[in-house]
Amino acid sequence: MLYRLVRPLAAIGIRANYQHICLSNTDRIPTDKPVILAANHPTAFMEPCILACFLDRPLYFLVRGDFFVRPIFDFLLRQLHMLPVFRMRDGGYTKLKHNYSTFAACSQALYANKTIMILAEGGTHHEKRLRPIQKGTARIALGTLDAFPDIEDVYIVPVGVNYTYAEKSRTRVMIDFGEAISTRSYWEEYEKSTSVAIHEITKDIASALSEHIVIIERKEDEALAEYLLRLQRPLLPLPLFPVINDAVHPLEQEKALVDRVNATEESIKISWLKDLSTCLLYTSPSPRDRG
């Protein structure tokens, strides 16, 4: 009940906070099937809020277990479809044991054809880079097939979340959905070796996610890449309305530009950076540069 009450109110605030929210390839999410949305995690909590508000289905979330310490928080968060996942630093092995009940609840939800969102990196940083994918997504997917042998499949959909400026308001969010990964296709390997199957799914999730995320491979290239993105964005404007749209070309263009930076020789990048630094000293960004 609380989820349904909060959702439309949150949607109003999110629309006001962003210039554009591009949700592309949502048709790749299977309907009436058990689905795990495996997303990267560039902000503290905005990506689950955005998807909860603007996808055509209720979502269930895995959230840091230390948020559930107080009984009132535990009650409210569970009413918002959130389930606790404990890490070692949240209370050692004692707290880690609570994850068994959470994973069982996830499996039960998937068996009922519900959709769970997992922030697959496990931590958050404001950077255009994919961090190591945690094994929890694979464990839950395979564990569901193990717990419910009659279930047809569990589908893992990679969700690439990209912000022009993650820490600023009135900017652009670009969320792209990849092709669904069939957990059942790993079942034969799982019966031979649980750890190998988990490793393979986790590796494939990371590979799929990387295709839908703007990735600046080296920290040393961040300044150059951001300069170039800032110059390119006004050349690829979107209409002011609708705020929520399915445009994929802004993300494709940003990925193409950053991929070119990643592939360019170091000496050329140094030359570009010097030229751009000089140029930007004498120019100021237009209002659209922030989108």
- Which tokens sit at 223? 């300044």
pLDDT of 287 reads: 45
- Element containing residue 262 per DSSP (H, E): helix 249-263
Residue closest to 40 by CA, chosen among 180, 165, 205: 205
Residue closest to 49 by CA, chosen among 173, 139, 205, 156: 173
User: What is the rounded distance in angstroms from the CA atom of residue 113 to the CA atom of residue 143?
Assistant: 15
Return the CATH class of domain 2-210: alpha beta
Given phi > 0 = left and psi -120 to 50 = alpha, else beta, which region is 85?
A: beta
Torsions phi, psi for 19 (to 5 deg) = -70, -45
Q: Where are the strands (E) in the chain, listed by range?
A: 20-24, 35-39, 59-64, 82-85, 115-119, 155-163, 172-177, 181-182, 244-245
pLDDT of 86 reads: 74
pLDDT of 87 reads: 60
Amino acid symbol at 94: T
- The residues spanned by each domain of the chain are 2-210, 223-239+249-290
Q: What is the DSSP letter of 176?
A: E
- Which tokens sit at 7? 């959702």
Task: Answer for the pair 116, 144: CB distance below 8 angstroms, yes or no.
Answer: no
- Element containing residue 57 per DSSP (H, E): none
pLDDT of 280 reads: 59
pLDDT tens for the chain, residues 1 to 291: 799 999 999 999 999 999 999 999 999 999 999 999 999 999 878 999 999 999 999 999 988 888 888 889 989 999 999 988 876 555 555 566 667 888 999 999 999 999 999 999 977 778 899 999 999 999 999 999 999 999 999 999 999 999 999 889 999 999 999 999 999 999 999 999 999 999 999 999 999 999 999 999 999 999 999 999 999 999 888 999 999 999 999 999 999 999 999 999 999 998 988 887 776 555 555 544 555
